[in-house]
Chain A
């Protein structure tokens, strides 16, 4: 079945540094990838929608200059948290939509295992 790999699974960084998280579709091509943020004991909040070859679409309230998203190929999207601060500490999860499934919408999403970011 479809597999989405996220790397790193855990990262600890100092305040002010930038961190890049990768989301890869391993056995399918993903026209669209989604990035979510999850705080402890809370639900997933959609941050942005990433389409291959175009600029990401950010949800209201998400700073696009803070959370840089690049979807340079059909199998890779990256989220870079720039100048990270402790309040950016969170669990970041990506999901990907299989290009072969066409316009089937949200019912063909595969989620990655998540990346836990801790900013000291």
Chain B
């Protein structure tokens, strides 16, 4: 595996389900990110982790719960989602926030549909 991988690629869930998205980076990076991409809207940052510590929570509802057990893995736990949460969820990684300009590299995304 190379770059940033995400699983599953597609997910359909009901509003009462609990599911998790997984991201793994094979680039030796220290920072990881979750983004949400809805139709006709710009990419929206959700969370930032730097050396496993959360450094940014962009006012994300508590039904989205991130977890970063180490610098290579990032999870997004989902529970009691709403239909408006349907979107493409993208994971990214970068060398580390102290770097300049610290380019972010993205995974292929998980297409989430909430029924």
Do A and B belong to a common assembly? no
